[in-house]
Amino acid sequence: MTRTKRFRGLMATATWKTFRFDLPLAMAILALTGPVGFTEEQEARPPRLELAAAEAASEAEMKPYAEVIEHTEIEIEMIPIPGGQYLMGSLESEAEHQADESPQHPVRLAPFWIGKYEITWEEFEIWGDELDILRRNLTGAASSPRDQAADGVTRPTEPYTDMSFGMGMERNPAICMTQHAARTYCRWLSAKTGRYYRLPTEAEWEYACRAGTTTAYSFGDDPGQLEEYAWYYDNSDEAYHEVGLKQPNPWGLYDMHGNVAEWVLDQYVADFYGTQAGQIADNPLAIPTQLYPRVVRGGNWDDPAEMLRSAARHG
C-alpha cells in the first residue's frame, strides 16, 4: 500500500524530496516561538516583513495571522499553539496500537504557530517555479533585501511530469517532495518574510494533532466518525482533495488525519528518543544522522483508518 507525505510543517518564530513516488508527501509548516525572540544570527537577517499579528513578546500575545508572500496574492494562515505538556504515544490498550508508539511518556513543549492547512501547490510553486521572481520582473517591482536573500535559496529541478499525477493543484496539498525539499522551502520562506519557519518536530506535530485530547483521534475513539474529519481509503476515491473541506480538530487545524501524510523534522527511531515511561521529554527532537528513515505523520488518502490515529508513526 502506498503512503502519501506532505508537509504542514512550517513553524514561524513568533516573536514558527528527491522524489519518492511510493510516498506522496506534503508538508506542514511551523513558526517557531520558544523562547520568544530572535538570536543574534536571526537578527542579522534582512528586516522582517511588517505584520503586527505575527509579533508576540509572550505566549499570551500570540494570535492567528496570515503570512504574506510578497509579489503574490498568496497568504499562509498560521494558528498559535499554547505551550504545555501531554502524553505522547499510545497505550497497548488502544485499538491498533503499534510497538513503536510505546512507551507512552510525558512531553513538555514551548508555544509555537503551525499552519492551519497543509501546504498547497499554489503556495509551494511560488518557490518551485520562481513565480515571485517572474511577477517582480513583469511588474518592474524593485527587489527588497528579503527578495535578494530568498532568491539565493536553491529551487527544485524542473519536474519531468505532472507531480500531482492528475489529481489537481492550486488549493490541493503539494506532494512528492523529499524532506530536504520541504526543509528548503521553509528556508526560502524564512528569507522571504524575515520570520523563521521550519518543519515541526514529531512531538510538536502529535501535540498539535491531539489538540488536548487523549483519544485515538482528535475527535474520539470511534473510526466511524472519520468521514467527517478525514480523506482516507474508505472515502477518498483514490485521490487527495482540496485542503480544509473536512472538519478541523479542536485547535482549528484541518486535515491532521488523512488526505496526505506530513513530513516532520525527526529521524525515525523506534524507541521515542530513548525516553522511559514517566520521564518528561522537554522539546524533544531525534536529530537526523542518516538519510533514511525520516518520520511522516497523519496518514494519507490511501490509508486505512488505523494509520490515521494521532499516535500512528511512519518511518
pLDDT digit string, tens, across residues 111-162? 999 999 999 999 999 999 999 999 999 999 999 999 999 999 998 888 888 8
The domain containing residue 284 runs over which residues? 5-314
| pLDDT value of residue 161 | 87
pLDDT digit string, tens, across residues 179-192? 999 999 999 999 99
What are the b/e assignments for 95-133, b being 16+ CB within 10 Å?
eebbebbbebbebebbbbbbbbbbbbbbbbbbbbeebbb
pLDDT digit string, tens, across residues 250-304? 999 999 999 999 999 999 998 876 766 668 999 999 999 998 999 999 999 999 9
Total of domains in the chain: 1
| pLDDT value of residue 221 | 98
The CATH number of whichever domain residue 213 belongs to comes to 3.90.1580.10
Give 36's pLDDT tier (boundaries 50, 70, 90): very low
Torsion angle in degrees (nearest 10) through CA of 104, 33, 75, 257: 0
**Rounded distance, CA 4 to CA 240, Å?**
9
- Counting every residue, how long is the chain? 315
Contact between 295 and 315 (Cβ < 8 Å): yes
pTM score above 0.95: no
Which of the two residues, 308 and 24, has the higher pLDDT score? 308
